[in-house]
Copies of this chain bind each other. A is one copy, B any other.
Amino acid sequence: MHDTFGLVAEPAAAKADPRGAVALAGVALDHRHANSYLARPGDRMKHIFLLIDGWAARYRLLSDGRRQITALFLPGDLCDLAWRDGGKAVQHVIAITAIRALRIELGTFERQIECDPGARTIVDHEAHLLAEAQCEWLVSLGRRSAVERLAHLFCELVERIGAVNAGGVGRCEMPLTQIDMADITGLTPVHVNRTLQQMRRSGLIELKSRQLKLRDFARIKKIAFFRSSADNPPLKNNLPEALKVFQTISGLAAVQTQGRLAHA
């Protein structure tokens, strides 16, 4: 199932670059393989990404090898707003899956924010969502048990993907390996493994071949002390709106976004 978002300003003016991407006015469609770096510490970033398909992660690496993932970027997220300040990457950002993204020059991006109040609102809101999510991660790492941390992570993912159906069952793609989950939740891969098994045994989740299913969303939320967007400002970003804003200035052909499991 596919949806089409965004209107095309000047599709005819769009120019294909050698790698098959389209570039105009500082905005282009970009493709990346899984495990490719979007940024490394010290890199001077000249652009910012609006993720369309695929997942990415930002992480800190200590000199002795310890890794902590500090943010997950999902479709609709801006990656990485931290690059705006000084244009220098401080952390690693890696593609977890293959990725399609709008690559927006920082200059173009700033100009758009300056001129278009709608863009400004979206960006401010995005930044706020990230900050809120990070606070919840702090709570997980500081005060939640292993089961609670994983439960909370899964709740967050399913809500951000927008994949909780009316029956209270949530599903989503789960491209994260157990090592990734460990580096998000501050646990060891071994303990993540045992905790997942415990969660499966107790009928909380199903997880195999990169597919996650939350069997009773309400129950998992309670276990995780999860603040649902039902009672709060929504956790979810707004990909269609963001695409509209930045496609309009790019003259880019309308981008097809993959249908989400949300609709299944």
Q: Which residues of A contact B (CB under 8 A)?
A: 60, 62-63, 66-68, 70-71, 82, 84-86, 88, 90-91, 124-125, 127-128, 130-132, 134-139, 141-143, 183, 185-186, 225, 227, 232-233
Most B-side CB within 10 Å, residue of A71, A131, A183, A225: A131
Which B-chain residue is minimally distant from A128 (CB atoms)?
A: B85
Having A67-B143, A137-B138, one finds 16 other A-B pairs with CB under 8 Å, namely A62-B143, A63-B225, A66-B143, A68-B139, A68-B142, A82-B128, A82-B132, A85-B233, A86-B233, A127-B131, A130-B131, A131-B134, A134-B135, A138-B138, A142-B183, A142-B185
How far apart sit A66 and B134, CA to CA, in the bound complex (Å)? 18
Q: Which residues of B contact A232 (CB under 8 A)?
A: 90
Task: Judge whether A124 and B85 touch: CB under 8 Å.
Answer: yes
Task: Judge whether B84 and A124 touch: CB under 8 Å.
Answer: yes
Q: Which residues of B contact A68 (CB under 8 A)?
A: 138-139, 142-143
How far apart sit A143 and B64, CA to CA, in the bound complex (Å)? 11
Task: Judge whether A132 and B90 touch: CB under 8 Å.
Answer: yes
How far apart sit A186 and B142, CA to CA, in the bound complex (Å)? 4
Task: Judge whether A131 and B131 touch: CB under 8 Å.
Answer: yes
Among candidates B131, B139, B185, B186, residue contacting A82 with C-beta atoms closer than 8 Å: B131
Q: What is the minimal beta-carbon distance from A70 to any residue of chain B, in angstroms?
A: 4
Q: Which residues of B contact A135 (CB under 8 A)?
A: 60, 70-71, 91, 134
Q: Which residues of B contact A139 (CB under 8 A)?
A: 60, 62, 68, 70
Q: What is the minimal beta-carbon distance from A198 to any residue of chain B, in angstroms?
A: 20
Q: What is the minimal beta-carbon distance from A36 to any residue of chain B, in angstroms?
A: 22
Can you list 10 A-B pairs with a CB-CB distance of less than 8 A?
A60-B136, A63-B225, A68-B139, A82-B132, A85-B128, A90-B232, A91-B135, A127-B127, A130-B131, A142-B186
How far apart sit A136 and B90, CA to CA, in the bound complex (Å)? 11
How far apart sit A62 and B125, CA to CA, in the bound complex (Å)? 25
Task: Judge whether A233 and B88 touch: CB under 8 Å.
Answer: yes
Q: What is the minimal beta-carbon distance from A178 to any residue of chain B, in angstroms?
A: 15
Q: What is the minimal beta-carbon distance from A93 to any residue of chain B, in angstroms?
A: 12
How far apart sit A49 and B91, CA to CA, in the bound complex (Å)? 30
